[in-house]
Structures are given as structure tokens and as C-alpha cells.
Amino acid sequence: MSALRRSFVSSLVLLALCIVALPAQEASEVKHTEDSIETVKENLANGKALLVDVREPDEWMAGHLKLARSIPLSRLKMLAPGAELDELVKGKILYVHCRSGRRCLTATPYLKSLGFDVRPLPQGFDALVEAGLEPAEIR
């Protein structure tokens, strides 16, 4: 392979790595929302917001919040830029939660890149239940 071709291929690989790493870099800059739990409950109750659970399917099946919609982080990571998420409505606040508050920070740049107003919650699933958000009945 010629030196020019190797340089071109190396440049393409480097560019691809930078693009793939972009959401991870942005995640380190993401902060949890400062909205109080009362504000979260109010926005959910009056239809201004949706609750998104980014935990994986096995965690969801073990227990989830009644108002939540499941969109696992693994699914978000596979979405193409500009993809549509039919289960979400643009123009509404998305309160994103997980088990402990870390994965929701990782999920936020992916959802923001799709045009959503995303507010990651610092509370994990158990803390949200303790704060009064109703768990769904598990069958």
C-alpha cells in the first residue's frame, strides 16, 4: 500500500473514532437536572414531560415506574443520527433515569442530538419510588 493511501486510511479511521467518541465526551459535560422532584412530578402530571428509563430490558422487567417509557441505553447507542423515536414526543421535557443516575448522563447527548429537551435525573429508580413516583405492577 502506498504511503499516501495509508495516510488516507489512517485519517479516515481517526475521523471515525472521533465521531464515535463524541457522545462519550459530551456525556462528561452533562449535568443532572436541577428541577426538584416536585417540579418533575408536576411536569409529568400536566403532560409537559415524559419519563424515560434507559436501563436495560432485564432491569425494566424486574421493576419500573408506571409512567416511564423504556428506551435502553444500548438502543440509543445504536441509533443513526437523525433517527426517530416514535415513543417520544418532541416539544416535551424528557426526564431520563436509570438505576443510579450515571447511565442517564450517558444517554443525554444521544437524545439531545435527536432534538429533545433532556433533563437527566440524579435519582435512580429506587430513590424515585421513595420520592413518590408510582412503580408499575409486575406480572
User: Cell for 7?
Assistant: 495516510
Looking at residue 46, what is its pLDDT?
97
pLDDT tens string 14-49: 444 444 444 544 556 899 999 999 999 999 999 999
pTM above 0.75, yes or no: yes
Q: What is the pLDDT of residues 51-107, one digit of tens each?
A: 999 999 999 999 999 999 999 999 999 988 788 898 899 999 999 999 999 999 999
In whole angstroms, what is the distance from residue 121 CA to residue 16 CA? 31
CATH number for region 3-130? 3.40.250.10
* pLDDT confidence of residue 8: 47
Query: Which grid coordinates are listed for 67?
Result: 409512567
pLDDT of the residue at 138: 81
Residue whose C-alpha is closest to residue 89's, from 115, 62, 63, 70: 115
**What residues contact 92, with CB distance under 8 A and at least 6 apart?**
47, 48, 49, 50, 117
